[in-house]
Structure 1
Amino acid sequence: MNSFSQVNTFTNERFTNFALEENKLAMKRAIDKQKSEFGHEYPLYIGEEKVFTEARITSINPGNVDEVIGHVSKADQTLAERAMTAALQSFDSWKKFPARERAEYVLKAAALLRERKHEFSALMILESGKNYVEADVDTAEAIDFMEFYARESIRLSEVDEAKPLVKIAGEDNHISYIPLGVGIVIPPWNFPLAICVGMTIAAILAGNTVLLKPASATPVIAHKFVSLMEEVGLPAGVINFIPGNGAEIGDYLTTHPKTRFISFTGSKETGLRINKLAAETASGQRWIKRVVAEMGGKDGIVVDETADLDAASLAIVASAFGFQGQKCSAGSRAIIVESVYDQVAAKVVALTEQLQVGLPEHNYSAGPVIDKHSYDKIMSFMEIGKKEGKLLTGGEKAEGNGFYIQPTVFGDLSSKARLMQEEIFGPVLALAKAKDWQEAIAIYNDTEFGLTGSYFSTNEERIAEALETVHCGNLYINRKCTGALVGVHPFGGFNMSGTDSKAGGYDYLLLFTQAKLTSRKMY
């Protein structure tokens, strides 16, 4: 079986077992290596040029704010325009590369990333505040995206065999999926490698070239990925690396007449702004711009009185507080049938209080939030929660030279409370009672978002109803609502959670292509 036809099957071997001392020591060595590179300066990539600028983004360690990860050059509109020109020039040749050749670059990069897994994970631990497991999973997901999308791009190039058209006499008909053009890729900071890699790789495997504008909080790990792609020989200008201010270069490129698509993951507010700007037709523009957006959620777990309450409580805490609740899939709400509410609330509080907050490089179960802006926003929600509901545990800052907040649980909240409706993106869990399982589902659905959700029950009739009526893009039964696997759980949501792009699924690459039907009369 060759590398292209290999079936994706996932086992626990994808993840590192940090219960083994040898693996912990390997990660500590990788962290020390990354620390030895603190303070370096990193350039833009514009075509064949590496450009250093006076304006820079300084990346700091959110777990120890005295540590500077690095200084990353910052693009302005003039440099963004140069990058657009480089991407347009590269597109003319890159789009002609056979799909298998494009995939070879990506598979080679995936193999190197697997060899250097701890190196990339260690940088994420330091730059984004992930603990060992969260960083390891992030890197594993990046590898999965590379391998899954590479093979999927081959399948799409052979679509006549995979999904043949209906035959008619006298005609030879074929459908092909051709690239769109130059796209803007805007990934988030919370999965600074996996989502950055997935969004970028999908676009270029489809034959497009991209301008990658990484999150300002995590630009060094994005630079490390771009450097990896350069190392495997990816032609210059296929990925152009242009960190910068969203209001300056983000808006400029979104409204640019040569921009063919914008691939975005981030907040609802920014996603809606991008969608609005992209909808305006610029002078000289010859297409409707395509927007692929994943914008967050107010995800929840519903627990009825028939559920395994221990399993439900474990899932609630894992979903709410993994990576400090800084996941768009984080289960920041739990809606519990009132007859078991007190039991579940007590179990959740006890589990939450077992979480230890500390420096990520020392592998604490809970670390810092990403930056001062997030810290201030989350702390303001703490005060709102104390007025709206009952503080069950946490509610204060935590010790440490960084942006540390206690894992916090509020109970007895109204379904209309702000903590039940607004995305906080931090270690804050809201609990609400429902009179029965049907009202619990109704409360779950009472939000403008619709990304992930879980339903805990042992009643098959109720589960069948939940599968049909719980309105979200990714619904899980009797498990946590985080932890989507590439190729297993295609990821994306409804309503204000975005365009339901289903990243890591078989439809995702189609979003970066256009279908062309060719029909030839046969004599």
Structure 2
Amino acid sequence: MNKRTEAAPFANEPFVDFGVEENRLAMEAAIGKIKEELGREYPLRIGDEKIYTEEKIVSLNPGDVGMAIGRVSKTDRALAEKAMQAALKTFESWKNVPAEERAGVLFRAAERLRERKREFSATMVLEAGKNYAEADADTAEAIDFMEFYAREMIRLDRINETLPLTKIAGEDNRLEYIPLGVGIVIPPWNFPLAICAGMTAAAIVSGNAVLLKPASATPVVAAKFVELMEEAGLPPGVLNFVPGSGAEVGDYLTSHPKTRFISFTGSKEVGLRIGRLAAETAPGQIWIKRFVAEMGGKDGIVVDETADLGAAAQAIVSSAFGFQGQKCSAGSRAFVVESVYEEVTERIVELTKRLSIGLPERNCAIGPVIDESSYKKILGYIEIGRKEGRLLAGGGRAPGNGYYIEPTVFADVDGKARIMQEEIFGPVLAIGKAKDWREAIRLYNDTEYGLTGSFFSTDEKRIEEAERTMHCGNLYINRKCTGALVGVHPFGGFNMSGTDSKAGGRDYLLLFTQAKAISRKR
């Protein structure tokens, strides 16, 4: 085990302050070391084999598109089937490994990641376009997920001691949480380490075997994570690394009769497609596939006239433009009561115009969006926004050899406008005016999503009503709507935001297990 044993209380990994010169210089040195690895080739990992394929996924730096971060071998259907068979075989032994031993792998992996924190963060600076703080927070969250889920598995294994069943005469009864089988883990590119590690760790520590299909935009950091798990002592075949096309490999594995569960984080459109495929019963399938999905949001912040207006404006800007708005929790909407609307809007515009734009490796506040497809999509929404609102900041491309877009603010946007209703996943904020705080909440709720939201007010009765009526999985009072912490803010939303699962919560591992009640007559 390590210094953070399962008996110790869980504590979140601290973030690094890059205002301290020593920390900034250390990150710059780490980025330099990662640049020495540019162009490295990464294999598939299937069972105990490392397989290099002729066809590769080439990972590019979105902030400097002439820079290839790495070349990752690409899976086809035949190799996907081979990985499935390897996972099925390994599952038969891994499911019998005691929970504390499985947890021990995660504790060791978390400790190794802590030791190599700068390396992983620097990789994301280059591969995902994150600035120093965003990358550091991503790595810290990956550490938190692994340690939290390790402790949770130990707790579930001891459930009969901590939460005993009702006793009856003449019988001994207990409850066990057993693994499901082989699952497909499909993480997103926007948190390419944290969510990848969290989804994978939850499934593995629960006793399942996994086929990990990383996002094609960020496969290098995922490959490094798989290497890390191997170093931590995870047996071959428990985690199989199968990057590839969603249409070819993803659909094939989702529809496979031996797939027991699919864990997915990504867009609503892809999530709904996976849900449809998973619902079909393939020949030879003997179970209903478990589908765990987090599918994004159209999140917002409500501000009333009693609020701290400076704090509200800062929270709106941070929520809208952190990591270029490429978070499912991003606050892409703001609804402000009319008596303070102009003042709050002016403050938002002033703060937005202060944001620096440029290379993440120079630690600019605003970096590139992830790829050309996203770049074109976001610019298209900005053109739509010009017709739906009053442009106050940004509104176009930003200079640089990458996918740079100015942080953009539209005011006077109707609640039914497309930029108020559709997930843009970029640095675009829409502001709407409400006659009072109740109308602002109504406007906030008028969406098919329900992930995060914030309410700014100093009126306790209004806060209490907002807590009851704002319909989202994660509601924050007088703070930004991004930045959920593992174990502190169990994360997951309602409606089209997903399947109501709560990553980093105490019920999350139940999604990767099944409860078996055992009774013995005395």
Same topology, TM > 0.5: yes
Matched, 1:35 2:35: yes
Match of 1:7 in 2: 9
What one-letter code is carried by the residue in structure 1 that aligns with 2:414?
A: S
Structure 2 Cα separation of the partners of residues 180 and 261 of structure 1: 8
Report the counterpart of residue 407 of structure 1 in structure 2. 407
Shift of 1:17: 1.1
Aligned equivalents of 2:56, 2:163: Cα separation in 1 = 49
Report SS of the residue matched to 2:497. Answer: coil
Tell me what 1:368 maps to: 368
- State the distance in 1 between where 2:164 and 2:469 align: 35
Aligned residue type for 2:420: M
The equivalent of 2:134 in structure 1 is 134
- Residues 239-293 of structure 1: per-residue CA shift (max 9 Å, x gap): 0000000000101110100000000000000000011110010100000000000
1:4 is matched by which residue type in structure 2? E
The one-letter code sitting in structure 1 at the alignment partner of 2:502 is K
Matched position secondary structure for 1:514:
strand
Is 1:123 the counterpart of 2:115? The answer is no
Aligned partner of 1:92 in structure 2 is 92
Aligned equivalents of 1:162, 1:365: Cα separation in 2: 46
Where does 1:37-76 land on structure 2 (aligned, <5 Å)? 37-76=37-76
Distance in 1 separating the partners of 2:200 and 2:421: 32
Report how far residue 8 of structure 1 moved: 1.4
* 2:253 maps to 1:253: yes
3-state SS of paired residue (1:432): strand
> What letter matches 1:504 in structure 2?
G
Matches of 2:267 and 2:4, distance apart in 1: 40
What are the superposed Cα offsets for residues 22-81 of structure 1, whole Å, 9 maximum, x if unpaired? 111100110000000000111000000111111110000000001000100000100000
Distance 2:19 2:440 in 1: 38
The residue aligned with 2:391 is 391
| Equivalent-residue separation in structure 2 for 1:132 and 1:154 (angstroms) | 34
Q: Give the match's secondary structure for 2:5.
A: coil
Residue identity in the other structure for 2:273:
R
Please state if 1:79 is matched with 2:118. Answer: no
Amino acid at match of 1:393: A
In the TM superposition, residue 232 of structure 1 has moved relative to its aligned partner by: 1.6
Provide the residue aligned with 1:307 in structure 2: 307
Please give the alpha-carbon distance, in whole angstroms, between the structure 2 residues aligned to 1:2 and 1:125: 28
C-alpha distance in 1, partners of 2:154/2:232? 19
Shift of 1:342: 0.3
Partner of 2:207: 207
Provide the rounded CA distance (Å) in 2 between the counterparts of 1:306 and 1:426. 30
CA shift for structure 1 position 233: 1.7
Q: Secondary structure at the match of 2:488?
A: coil
2:163 corresponding residue in structure 1 = 163
1:125-169: CA deviations, max 9, x gaps? 000000000000000000000100001100000110121100111
Correspondence for 1:237: 237
2:511 alignment partner in structure 1: 511
- Name the structure 1 match of 2:468: 468
Is 1:272 paired with 2:275?
no
Which residue does 2:318 correspond to in 1?
A: 318
1:109-129 Cα deviation digits (max 9, x unpaired):
100100110000000000000
Q: What's the secondary structure of 1:318's corresponding residue?
A: helix
2-structure distance, mates of 1:161, 1:324: 47
Structure 1 unaligned residues grouped into runs of 5+: none
Q: Which residue number in structure 2 is paired with residue 109 of structure 1?
A: 109
1:30 is paired with a residue whose SS is: helix
* Cα distance change of structure 1 residues 24 and 290 upon mapping to structure 2, 3 Å threshold: same
Letter in 2 for 1:168: I
Partner of 1:16: 16
Change over 3 Å in CA distance of 1:201–1:2 after alignment to 2: closer
Give me the whole-angstrom Cα distance separating, in 2, the residues matched to 1:317 and 1:136: 20
Q: Which runs of 5+ in 2 are unaligned?
A: none
After superposition, what is the alpha-carbon deviation per residue over 1:180-219, rounded to whole angstroms, capped at 9, x for unaligned? 0000000000000000000000000000000000000000
Separation of aligned partners in 1, 2:255 and 2:281: 8
TM-score (norm 1): 0.99
Report which stretch shifted further, 421-430 or 13-22: 13-22
Large movers: runs of 4+ above 2 Å = none
Q: 1:519 to 1:91 in 2, by over 3 A?
A: same
| Whole-angstrom CA distance in 2 between matches of 1:463 and 1:233 | 48
1:9 CA drift (Å): 2.9
- In 1, distance between residues paired with 2:116 and 2:227? 13
Q: What is the DSSP-based 3-state SS (H/G/I as helix, E as strand, rest coil) of the residue aligned with 1:263?
A: strand
Provide the C-alpha distance between the structure 2 equivalents of 1:471 and 1:50, rounded to a whole number of angstroms: 47
Q: Matched residue of 1:142: which SS?
A: helix
| Equivalent residue pairs, number | 520
Report how far residue 2 of structure 1 moved.
6.8
